[in-house]
Amino acid sequence: MNREALHFAVRNGKLLVGLAVLLPLLALALLGPALAEGDPNAYVGTPAQAPSGEYWFGTTMFGQDVFAQFVYGLRVTFLVGLLGGGLAALIGMAVGFTAGYRGGLVDEVLNMLTNIVLVLPALAVLLVVNAYLGVRSVSVQALFIGLTSWPWAARAIRAQTFSLRSRDFVDLARLSGVRTWKIITREIAPNMSSYLFMTFILLFGGSVLIAASLDFIGLGPTQGVSLGLMLNNAARWSALHLGMWWWFIPPGAGITVIVGALYVMNVGLDEVFNPRLREL
């Protein structure tokens, strides 16, 4: 980020609000397990206990500490977002840059692959994979999300690359005999760094939502704890009907706040990097 962008970044309200919301949650995800030591699924207190000084978020139907599950679930949420969004971003950049720069037959083949993955019924595929794989973990979930979430990013990066490959500095590098991958990484990608960063943020938020949805319907990791799995357990054991609001509100609010903060940050970054959108 250059000085001009930094100047507008520290004055952009949307970006600052998003960071102010997201950073404490990230710190809680990293440091929270030190405050809630032990197994988050352990039975430690009186069942269905409301929030108190001893159990800040109360306990579940089985006497599990909701706060301990929440902080461990936050860590899993950020991890899935980082791995799934990062993998999708890498695949999207590789496909988008290659298709946009090479064009011709390479572009047609990669565009066809992108369209196939784009219309692929991801949920149906996951059901089949779960039926035969038998192993469900955070890494497997992130891998699946990354392998199915990249097409829109690839299309967007391809379009940007098309507009940059005919620029004078790219032509000069090509005439100088610079290899294709060096032109992409040294000439084209740096001129799209802000766009790539915002794309990653969107993929990160999308990965969090997909993971939470899969966990909620019972297709997430079979062990451990996550915010989506907390919602699944709360719904399964009728927490809403029993008035146990402290069981389902924290994970639901956590997912909503994380994704909302990421999208608000993305809007703020768009205003920072796009001179036409900057507020005077």
Spell out the per-residue pLDDT of the chain, length 280, in tens.
567 767 777 788 888 999 999 999 999 999 887 777 778 888 888 899 999 888 889 999 999 999 999 999 999 999 999 999 999 999 999 999 999 998 889 999 999 999 988 887 776 776 677 666 666 788 888 888 898 889 999 999 999 998 888 888 888 888 888 888 888 888 888 888 888 999 999 999 999 998 898 888 887 777 778 999 999 999 988 898 889 999 999 999 999 999 999 999 998 888 888 766 555 4
**Burial bucket for residue 16 (CB in 10 Å: 0-12, 13-18, 19+):** middle
CB 64 within 8 A of CB 237: no
CB 70 within 8 A of CB 250: yes
What is the SS3 assignment for 35-91?
HCCCCCCCECCCCCCCCCCCCCCCECCCCEEHHHHHHHHHHHHHHHHHHHHHHHHHH
Q: What is the pLDDT of residue 93?
A: 94
CB 51 within 8 A of CB 108: no
Q: What is the pLDDT of residue 271?
A: 83
Q: What is the pLDDT of residue 134?
A: 62
Q: What is the pLDDT of residue 20?
A: 94
Q: What is the pLDDT of residue 278?
A: 58
Two structure tokens written together for 173: 């590098």
Q: What residue ranges define each of the domains in the chain, with the CATH number in brackets?
A: 76-277 (1.10.3720.10)
pTM: 0.89
Q: What is the pLDDT of residue 280?
A: 46
Residue 119 CA: distances (Å) to CA of 98, 99, 151, 152, 180? 21, 19, 10, 11, 30
